[in-house]
Amino acid sequence: MKKILLRRILIFLSVSGLGFAFVPFLSSLAPPEAAKEEIKKIELNISELKAGEVYSFTVQGRPVLVLKPSLEQEKSIELLNDHVWDRDHRSFGGAYVFVGLSTSRKGPCLLEHKPAQESWLKSHDKDSKWYGGYWDHSCEISYDYAGRAIKDYPYTFNGLDDRAENLSSPAVKFISDTVLEIE
């Protein structure tokens, strides 16, 4: 009887001790207080952006991509005019601002920046050419630097040419000639 009681007490103390040990560990995994505050809006001076570099922010819990295109990227946008589903695009003082989620029918998927490079489609189609832009690895939709969904197989990053809408823009307004407020 004493052995059973002693065994139960030891088990209880062991489980309690493990519980007390895990409390500090679990609380250390929580984000710091500053990170818990959601960023509602950002101000961005587009004159300070480096041409050709993609900037990524999180605003209101959504990824936001900002690009002030280089001359090469501007040329790629022009070259793709006939190879996108919808030619319309909008820039803000020369910068493109998008929600960094695809517009696929499968649902929003996080986008990756894929710079200009030789397309892996070259082994299947000698005329294929990836000019750079954004790619959704889950839904496999390709977008150019103006945020337009690419429709023609040889110009996509991976060869998938599903119909998709252009990337959406968050709420953007000019605070001055060069400063944007992004919500």
> What was the pLDDT predicted at 102?
78
What is the C-alpha to C-alpha distance for residues 43 and 177, in angstroms, rounded to an integer? 12
Per-residue pLDDT at 3: 73
Question: Based on the number of CB atoms within 10 Å of its own CB, is 165 exposed (0-12), middle (13-18) or buried (19 or more)?
Answer: middle
pTM given for the model? 0.74
CATH for the 42-182 domain, from 3.30.565.10, 2.102.10.10, 2.60.40.1580, 3.40.50.620: 2.102.10.10
- On whether the CB atoms of residues 149 and 103 are closer than 8 A, the answer is yes
CA-nearest of 108, 75, 81, 97 to 173 is 97
Of the pLDDT bands very low, low, confident and very high (cuts 50, 70, 90), residue 160 is confident
pLDDT reading at 11 higher than 90: no
Instruction: Identify the residue whose tokens are 């809006």.
Output: 41
- Position 33 scores a pLDDT of 54
- Looking at every residue in the chain, the average pLDDT score rounds to 82
